[in-house]
């Protein structure tokens, strides 16, 4: 990928233009964020259970013990998806629910939940899209060293085999990993995500072993699922922009592009780690020893579709005095950097842009530029927007409604960016709104609401927000509604 200037704007597509035939409309969730039932039916702790119970790690001491109680309410949630007109549902599997220690045989009660969920989706005419890993490593595997250890990638392949055997006949799209950048660099670099470790060398080792886990799982899936099923990986690619036209800021953007994007796209899509990444981080790890013979061939097995998650652009510079503040990068506060080898790079909040409740700048042009960059660098590879959305300070009105015009505007602009990217040649096959439900937002606990559906956590009552009804109308039209129709 290549860093782009902030003033590159997409060409305008006609407002009346529809989305391509077969374009998939969905919404997404993650197991630990919505399921609850943390100690039921054989499930054992994941690293997020442990992390959320560690004082000071999660806002208000919140945990995912109950979350949105999706484990018990999945039938009602699927009925709600059907009512809203969703065509696909992207969910993740809790590894420790189906293979509690990360080793050995599966727990059938855990598998049964996902069998029932998938059957309910299919009965409702909703396509299930399964993600094998959305950050919840079984705690026993972390105790054995976690992702910095090569063995974890081998255990992931065994887990992938279990899931392919259980659901391979019913799930048509399989995603190996969701946002491995967060798993590696927030989990083992800055420590703001589970397991909360703060060692840059471990973060880089974790990144390689996550890549290897993807490759091992791809081999297993291709051997066990029907030839018609699709394989994918989902990356939170950073749409990196230099603050100025200076050579120093261009180098800052190159560095963050390397450790934020190409550390995964390089080996996964092109069969090699970028030379500049290796140079930037050679003082931290010996890549010649970390990467074994055959690793890159395994990692670069072809995928059928690339999932892209986008929320906000990344604006960087190289301070003249050499000091940086990489903690203000939108990824949580820590005195430790999630950018190993580039800790000096400074991050900036874009001026003049509205902000979400996460304090992220709202800029739909970033999604357009990202899609076009990826399409240019990977011709012939279908793309899917697997997460896009925004948190706002939602509340229930006295009339029992949740009005969220800011989210509707956000979605409209970003869907417009997708439509323009398609018009300009990007092969984008679908869009998954993040998130279906308000949920446990990792280190922010329950203080941030991304859902199209409001969840009253005390009663577990679901209230579709105005944005849910707006999105339902988009799905029905298979096109954006008139710009004046925002609610």
Active-site position among 120, 142, 179, 441: 179
Nearest CA to 358 out of 405, 316, 390 is that of 390
Contact 414, 367 (CB under 8 A): yes
Distance, CA of 301 to CA of 222 (rounded, Å): 10
CB 367 within 8 A of CB 311: no
Cβ atoms of 454 and 465 closer than 8 Å? yes
173 DSSP 8-state letter: E
CB 235 within 8 A of CB 322: no
Say if CB 235 and CB 265 are below 8 A apart: yes
d(C-alpha 162, C-alpha 20), whole Å: 35
Which member of 35, 120, 142, 387 is catalytic?
Answer: 387
- In this structure, the chain runs to a length of 487
Q: Is the dihedral of CA 131, 135, 140, 145 positive or negative?
A: positive
Is 399 assigned a catalytic role? no
- What SS3 state is found at 91? strand
Tell me if residue 83 is catalytic: no
Torsion sign over Cα 167, 168, 173, 174: positive
295 backbone dihedrals φ, ψ, rounded to 5°:
-60, -50
For the annotated catalytic residues, the residue numbers are 179, 387
């Amino acid at each position: 990928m290549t860093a782009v200037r902030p003033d590159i704007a997409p060409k305008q597509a006609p407002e009346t233009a529809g989305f391509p035939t077969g374009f998939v409309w969905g919404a997404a969730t993650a197991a630990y964020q919505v399921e609850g039932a943390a100690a039921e039916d054989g499930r054992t702790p994941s690293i997020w259970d442990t992390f959320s119970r560690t004082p000071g790690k999660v806002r208000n001491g919140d945990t995912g013990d109950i979350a949105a109680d999706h484990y018990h309410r999945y039938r009602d949630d699927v009925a709600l998806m059907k009512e809203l007109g969703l065509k696909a549902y992207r969910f993740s599997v809790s590894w420790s629910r189906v293979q509690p220690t990360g080793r050995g045989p599966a727990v059938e009660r855990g598998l049964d939940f996902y069998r029932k969920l998938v059957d309910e989706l299919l009965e409702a005419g909703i396509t299930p899209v399964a993600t094998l890993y959305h950050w919840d490593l079984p705690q026993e595997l972390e105790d054995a060293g976690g992702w910095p250890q090569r063995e974890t990638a081998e255990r992931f392949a065994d887990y992938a085999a279990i899931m392919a055997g259980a659901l391979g006949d019913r799930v048509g799209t399989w995603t190996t990993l969701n946002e491995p950048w967060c798993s590696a660099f927030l989990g083992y670099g800055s420590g703001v995500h589970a397991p909360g470790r703060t060692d840059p060398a471990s973060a880089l080792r974790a990144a390689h072993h996550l890549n290897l886990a993807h490759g091992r799982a791809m081999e297993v899936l291709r051997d066990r699922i029907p030839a018609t099923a699709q394989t994918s990986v989902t990356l939170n690619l950073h749409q990196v922009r230099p603050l100025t036209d200076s050579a120093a800021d261009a180098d800052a953007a190159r560095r963050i592009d390397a450790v934020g994007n190409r550390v995964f796209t390089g080996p996964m899509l092109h069969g090699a780690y970028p030379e500049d990444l290796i140079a930037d981080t050679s003082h931290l790890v010996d890549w010649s020893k970390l990467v074994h013979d055959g690793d890159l061939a395994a990692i670069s097995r072809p995928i059928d579709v690339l999932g892209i998650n986008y929320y906000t652009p990344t604006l960087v510079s190289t301070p003249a005095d050499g000091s940086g503040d990489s903690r203000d990068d939108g990824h949580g506060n820590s005195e430790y950097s999630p950018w190993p080898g580039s800790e000096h790079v400074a991050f900036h909040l874009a001026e003049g842009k509205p902000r979400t409740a996460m304090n992220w700048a709202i800029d739909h042009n970033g999604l357009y530029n990202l899609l076009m960059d990826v399409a240019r660098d990977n011709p012939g590879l279908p793309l899917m927007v697997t997460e896009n959305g925004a948190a706002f300070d939602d509340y229930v009105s006295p009339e029992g409604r949740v009005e969220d015009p800011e989210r509707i505007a956000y979605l409209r602009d970003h869907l417009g960016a997708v439509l323009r990217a398609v018009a300009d040649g990007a092969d984008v096959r679908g869009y998954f709104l993040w998130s279906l439900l308000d949920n446990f937002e990792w280190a922010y606990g329950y203080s941030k609401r991304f859902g199209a559906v409001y969840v009253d956590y005390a009663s577990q009552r679901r209230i579709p927000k105005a944005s849910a009804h707006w999105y339902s109308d988009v799905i029905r039209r298979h096109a954006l509604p008139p710009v004046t129709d925002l609610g």
